[in-house]
């Protein structure tokens, strides 16, 4: 099966996307894969699969490879002998900005290119953690209590210490701080504001139980991964998450009751349906006193959460064969023609 991995992007998670793409190459060994790299200047390059190594990008070797341009239906590779149109289905593996903020989704939709990944509407509600909270409220999905702080505005925090401070539109724990003393709060805000103009502040729940669940929809039915209880200390920081992005071994199934599993699945389904069709997403949940709280939605999880599925290749095959049809308005000039006829022009 042919599939093109699109990765890179101009974001703070650029390198993590590269790591994910290299990992996916290993996990989809039976696929006929091609790789398109989006660099920090939004140029697209067709990467030789044999050179899918971190040094190819850190040393700028990718710039010697074929540059691609977009056209209706795919990417064009031009040469002295003509041009080649690459029309494979795209797996959007660009983490963070560009990939998760809706930019790539809009671009692929505009050029009528088939892709696996969240559509622009889904990106809106998952990329910005504030909008995820609004979505939860609208769907009746409980989430962690929060406050929002804005850059260059006074922060009048009502939550009690300890708290966790997060940039609103960033993943991989970049810019995240745990604040246990009020004297350190302003510094944590300044750190987060380096990455975003809006910051979420949530209670830091000591010893909270956390569970990850991934899934995707085929034929109107959601197919779930196993439930994982991530191993962490106080919280999963950038370094641990960075290593997590290169995971390829099967994760261990969480030792929890069927009742809790069903609660997690029920909340996942509320979030997914009508919003994330065409994508594989991972939802991270907290469980506090038996109550399930959505922590965040990962619309393009690290390495596509391959480690949560027993047969990841089958997952991608099913997604590839069940991509939502993009509706496009058929342009008509009947109105202009009728006006012209009436005026005799």
Q: Please, are residues 101 and 127 in contact by the beta-carbon 8 Å criterion?
A: yes
Q: Work out the pLDDT band at 247, boundaries 50, 70, 90.
A: low
If one compares 339 and 226, the residue with the highest pLDDT of the two is 226
pLDDT in tens, 118-149: 999 999 999 999 999 999 999 999 999 999 99
Q: How many CB atoms within 10 Å of residue 251?
A: 21
How confident is residue 79, by pLDDT bands cut at 50, 70 and 90?
Answer: confident
Q: CATH 3.40.50.20 spans which residues of the chain?
A: 2-117
pLDDT digits (tens, 9 = 90+) for 50-71: 999 999 999 999 999 999 999 9
Contact 294, 271 (CB under 8 A): yes
Q: What is the pTM of this model?
A: 0.90
Which CATH architecture is the domain 147-203 placed in? 2-Layer Sandwich (3.30)
Predicted confidence band at 240 (pLDDT cuts at 50, 70, 90)?
low
Largest CA distance in the chain: 78
Looking at 70-79, 88-97, 231-240, which range is the least confident one? 231-240
| Residue ranges of the chain assigned to CATH 3.30.470.20 | 123-143+206-320
Confidence class of residue 27 from pLDDT cuts 50, 70 and 90? Answer: very high
318 three-state secondary structure? helix
pLDDT number for residue 232: 66
Whether 306 and 248 have beta carbons less than 8 Å apart is answered as yes
In this prediction, residues 142-168 reach a mean pLDDT of 92
Return contacts of 97-103, CB within 8 angstroms, 24+ apart: 97/9, 97/10, 97/11, 97/12, 97/13, 97/169, 98/9, 98/10, 98/11, 98/38, 98/42, 99/9, 99/11, 99/17, 99/300, 100/126, 100/127, 100/171, 100/299, 100/300, 101/127, 101/169, 102/127
- Percentage of the chain beyond pLDDT 70 is 93
Which is nearest to 28 in space by CA: 264, 285, 315? 315
Q: Which of 259, 334, 305, 337 is closest to 20 using CA atoms?
A: 305
Count Cβ neighbours within 10 Å for each residue of 293-323 and write b for 16 or more, e otherwise. Answer: bbbbbbbbbbbbbbbbbeebeebbbbbbeee
Contact 189, 149 (CB under 8 A): yes
What pLDDT is recorded for position 338?
Answer: 79
pLDDT score for 145: 95
Whether the bond into 298 is cis, omega within 30 of 0:
no
Give the fold, CATH level 3, of 123-143+206-320.
D-amino Acid Aminotransferase; Chain A, domain 1 (3.30.470)
Summarised one tens digit per residue, pLDDT across range 328-337 is 788 888 888 7
Give span(s): CATH 3.30.1490.20, the chain. 147-203
pLDDT bin (cut points 50, 70, 90) of residue 345 is low
> Quick one: CATH architecture of 2-117?
3-Layer(aba) Sandwich (3.40)
Residue 289, Cα to own-chain centre: how many angstroms? 29
Q: What is the pLDDT of residues 255-314, one digit of tens each?
A: 999 999 999 999 999 999 999 999 999 999 999 988 999 999 999 999 999 999 999 999
């Amino acid at each position: 099966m042919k599939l093109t991995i699109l990765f890179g992007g101009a974001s703070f998670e650029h390198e993590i996307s590269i790591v994910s793409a290299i990992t996916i190459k290993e996990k989809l060994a039976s696929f006929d894969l091609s790789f398109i790299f989006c660099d920090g200047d939004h140029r697209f390059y067709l990467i030789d699969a044999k050179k899918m190594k971190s040094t190819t990008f850190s040393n700028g070797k990718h710039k010697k490879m074929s540059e691609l341009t977009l056209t209706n239906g795919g990417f064009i590779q031009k040469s002295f002998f003509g041009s080649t149109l690459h029309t494979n289905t795209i797996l959007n593996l660009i983490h963070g900005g560009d990939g998760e903020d809706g930019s790539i989704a809009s671009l692929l939709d505009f050029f009528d290119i088939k892709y696996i990944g969240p559509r622009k509407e889904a990106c809106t509600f998952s990329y910005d953690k504030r909008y995820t909270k609004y979505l939860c409220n609208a769907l009746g999905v409980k989430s962690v209590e929060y406050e929002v702080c804005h850059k260059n505005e006074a922060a009048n925090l009502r939550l009690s210490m300890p708290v966790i401070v997060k940039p609103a539109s960033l993943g991989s724990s970049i810019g995240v701080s745990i604040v246990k003393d009020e004297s350190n709060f302003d510094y944590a805000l300044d750190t987060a504001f380096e990455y975003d103009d809006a910051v979420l502040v949530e209670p830091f729940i000591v010893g909270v139980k956390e569970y990850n669940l991934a899934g995707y929809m085929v034929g109107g039915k959601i197919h779930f991964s196993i439930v994982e209880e991530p191993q962490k200390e106080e919280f999963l920081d950038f370094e641990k998450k960075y290593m997590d992005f290169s995971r390829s071994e099967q994760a261990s199934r969480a030792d929890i009751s069927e009742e809790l599993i069903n609660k997690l699945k029920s909340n996942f389904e509320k979030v997914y349906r009508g919003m994330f069709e065409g994508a594989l997403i991972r939802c991270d949940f907290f469980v506090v006193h038996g109550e399930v709280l959505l922590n965040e939605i990962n619309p393009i999880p690290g390495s596509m959460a391959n480690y949560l599925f027993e047969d990841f290749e089958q997952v991608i095959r099913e997604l590839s064969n069940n991509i939502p049809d993009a509706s496009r308005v058929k342009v008509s000039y009947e109105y202009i023609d009728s006006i012209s006829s009436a005026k005799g022009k």
